[in-house]
Structure formats: structure tokens, C-alpha cells
């Protein structure tokens, strides 16, 4: 089993299987379908590409690291297959625009298919990927990374689509304006593209990235696979691995979901069963699962992670795969401390999503294993 935070290592196919599972869980419903990403990574490995992961602490302070990820609606990325070289085109266009050579690629968000895109682009460019990301989960908007929250300016940036279009955002007056312009562009490009941001220094990323993201996602996936092999409960294994807890079990009885402005928005209504049969829960969606409420009372809210799993198999269910009648378990997992500081909560807390009347209350695990 891969140890979190170990030294330089190479990705292999068994690790990719685990990464699919772990990134699906950490995706909190978004980040793109990890199964499709897994197929693309596996194909690149079989073509002879090398995917090397390096630890944060190994980076020189003056290294140039470019963060990359997909932008758009998960539903589109699930239905429209990528051309394959979008990420590489982003890197090369950024190098040409700035007159530099990139030293490594970082992940924007470890959740879902977005964990895979940096691996493919870096392998094609002959670069390593840093064992980190900017979210420790998935968020729907680009300014919601620890990189941006703690001062990185993302422009100049480059967006590439499957058709071969290359768009350069030369300067944005704020990270929010960068998000707005890129979101408008991705809608014009069909709803899903790849974006690479301006380089960060090694000194900066070592301070403000979420560390050990790839090794964490793979070890989480390994824990699930081991539980299945041993005929143990994979949901229990996830909770043990991530200090999480089951907050609800039930059946989806209503599902409202629509595509608007480059996002999937909606709400899932869940009627409880087993210990929760007298309760009804709801989960608010904006690409990811943002708010969990029971009987009208908010219990878990961003930036803490809300994960919906198949109640029997423990498989993560993304927003585009939710269906009426599914039997699900809802998990709550605490976010990384970098996302709980006041400056972070302004961006990735309730106010960042327009819920001005809600206050973030960090979940904690009490001595009995419950969530409070």
C-alpha cells in the first residue's frame, strides 16, 4: 500500500485503480467522472508515458510549477470525450507566452477526473507532477483554490478545448473576474475544457498547497479495495481513513438537476431508512455537494466534504450519476486546515456560494465516532 507523503515515485496501473476510487470520494460529487480519467491515464501508461510524482518538499524555491485542471460542467465531461492533448497544448502555449520552461505540473483539485488531467499532460510534456493540489477535494470555481486564496494570481492562463482552440487570458483584475471570463469561454467551447494557470514558485506552493494529495487519494482507494477483498464494509474503511462519519442513509426520492452558466445545479432529496427512517435529508448541488441538511436543519456545509456513496458497495456517486431510487449513504469528512482560515472561508465557505445567512461550523469527530 502506498504511504502518504513518501518520496519520489512512479504511477502504475494498480495505483490508477486506487486513484479512481479515492479521487471519486474526494471529488464530493464533482471534478469530472474519474472512470473516464482512469481510462485515459491507463492508455497513456500503456503507450509508454512515464508518470512521476514528486513530494512538495523536494521542489527548489525557484522552481516554476503550473497548476492545471478541467473547467466546465461534470455532466459535459462525462458525455464528451477529450481529444487527449488539451493539457499539453496549455503547457506549451503558456511557456511560449511567458518565454519560460515549466519545471513541474500541479493539480488544481484532486477530486474526480481532475486528478487525472495533470498526470496526462505532465507525462506528454516529460514533466513530474507534484504530490499536492489546491483544494483537497473539488470545488466548482477556479478562485476556490488554496493557491488563489493565499495570493497567487492565475493569469496569464491558457484554456484549450478538444477542437484545438487555444485561448489566452492575459490579465484579470481579480481571481473572481478570471473565473467569470473563463466560465463564459468554456460555455462557448461546449461546456468542458482544460485550463493551466500562471506559474507558481516552489517557495509559494510549499507553503500554500494541500500536501500529499495523490498519495492520500491512492491510499484511500487502497483502503476501499482491501475492505472489499476482505469482505469488510468499505464505507467504514473510508471513515477510518479520513476521520469521517456516516451522517445519513436513505433512498433518493426526488432529484432536481439542471445545467446553467457552466455549472450543474440542483438538489437531491433523500428519505431515510434503517436508523434514519423517520428523517428526510437534502443535499444542495453546484457541481459538487455543498450543503447537507436533515429535517430542514443544516448539519454539514462547505468546505467540509459531503460524499454520497452507494449504500451497498460504497462506490462514490457523482452529481451526474445520481438517480431516483438509489440507496445511498451520506458521509461527512473534515477539510484540510488551510480551508478553515477566515480568508479561506470568505471564498470556499457558505458566503462564497451565496449563502450569506449560513455560518460554517467545522465538523468534528467525538469520542463515540459521531459527527458534531
User: Which domains, from first to last, does the chain contain?
Assistant: 9-213 (3.40.1610.10), 236-353 (2.40.390.10)
Alpha carbon distance, N-terminus to C-terminus of the chain: 31
Handedness of CA 308, 301, 332, 151 (dihedral sign): positive
- Digit-coded pLDDT (tens) for 258-317: 766 667 789 999 999 999 999 999 999 988 999 999 999 999 999 999 999 999 889 999
179 φ, ψ (degrees, to nearest 5): -60, -45
Average pLDDT over residues 346-351: 95
pLDDT at 153 (0 to 100): 97
Q: To 5 degrees, how large is the angle CA 8–CA 14–CA 20? A: 95
Average pLDDT over residues 25-51: 92
- What Cα–Cα distance (Å) separates residue 66 from each residue in 30, 52, 120, 165? 22, 15, 14, 20
Sequence-distant (6+) residues with CB within 8 A of 9 are 2, 52, 53
- Digit-coded pLDDT (tens) for 66-105: 999 988 766 666 667 777 899 999 999 999 999 999 999 9
Average pLDDT over residues 15-34: 93
pLDDT at 368 (0 to 100): 33
Average pLDDT over residues 222-236: 96
Give the E-state strand segments of 216-323 in sequence order.
245-260, 263-272, 280-286, 288-294, 297-301, 305-310
Query: Closest Cα to residue 326, out of 341, 342, 343, 308?
Result: 308
Amino acid at each position: 500500500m502506498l504511504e502518504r507523503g513518501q518520496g519520489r515515485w512512479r504511477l502504475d496501473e494498480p495505483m490508477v485503480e486506487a486513484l479512481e476510487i479515492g479521487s471519486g470520494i474526494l471529488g464530493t460529487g464533482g471534478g469530472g467522472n474519474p472512470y473516464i480519467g482512469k481510462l485515459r491515464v491507463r492508455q497513456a501508461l500503456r503507450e509508454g508515458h512515464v508518470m512521476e510524482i514528486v513530494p512538495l518538499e523536494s521542489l527548489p524555491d525557484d522552481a516554476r510549477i503550473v497548476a492545471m485542471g478541467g473547467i466546465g460542467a461534470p455532466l459535459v465531461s462525462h458525455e464528451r470525450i477529450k481529444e487527449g492533448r488539451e493539457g499539453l497544448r496549455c503547457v506549451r502555449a503558456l511557456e511560449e507566452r511567458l518565454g519560460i520552461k515549466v519545471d513541474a505540473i500541479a493539480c488544481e483539485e484532486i477530486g474526480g477526473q481532475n486528478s487525472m488531467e495533470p498526470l496526462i499532460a505532465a507525462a506528454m510534456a516529460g514533466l513530474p507532477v507534484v504530490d499536492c493540489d489546491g483544494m483537497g477535494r473539488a470545488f466548482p470555481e477556479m478562485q476556490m483554490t488554496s493557491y488563489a486564496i493565499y495570493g497567487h494570481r492565475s493569469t496569464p492562463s491558457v484554456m484549450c478545448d478538444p477542437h484545438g482552440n487555444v485561448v489566452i487570458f492575459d490579465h484579470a483584475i481579480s481571481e473572481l473576474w478570471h473565473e467569470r471570463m473563463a466560465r463564459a469561454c468554456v460555455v462557448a467551447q461546449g461546456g468542458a475544457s482544460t485550463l493551466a494557470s500562471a506559474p507558481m514558485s516552489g517557495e509559494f506552493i510549499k507553503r500554500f498547497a494541500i500536501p500529499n494529495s495523490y498519495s492520500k487519494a491512492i491510499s484511500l482507494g487502497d483502503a476501499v479495495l482491501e475492505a472489499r477483498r476482505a469482505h469488510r464494509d468499505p464505507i467504514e474503511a473510508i471513515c477510518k481513513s479520513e476521520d469521517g462519519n456516516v451522517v445519513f442513509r436513505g433512498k433518493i426520492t426526488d432529484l432536481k438537476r439542471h445545467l446553467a452558466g457552466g455549472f450543474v445545479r440542483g438538489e437531491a432529496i433523500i428519505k431515510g431508512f434503517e436508523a434514519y427512517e423517520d428523517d428526510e435529508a437534502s443535499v444542495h448541488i453546484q457541481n459538487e455537494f455543498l450543503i447537507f441538511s436533515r429535517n430542514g436543519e443544516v448539519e454539514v456545509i462547505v468546505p467540509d466534504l459531503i460524499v454520497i456513496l452507494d449504500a451497498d458497495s460504497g462506490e462514490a456517486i457523482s452529481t451526474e450519476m445520481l438517480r431516483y431510487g438509489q440507496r445511498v449513504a451520506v458521509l461527512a469528512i473534515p477539510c484540510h486546515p488551510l480551508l478553515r482560515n477566515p480568508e479561506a472561508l470568505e471564498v470556499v465557505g457558505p458566503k462564497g456560494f451565496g449563502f450569506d445567512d449560513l455560518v460554517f461550523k467545522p465538523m468534528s469527530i467525538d469520542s463515540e465516532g459521531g459527527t458534531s
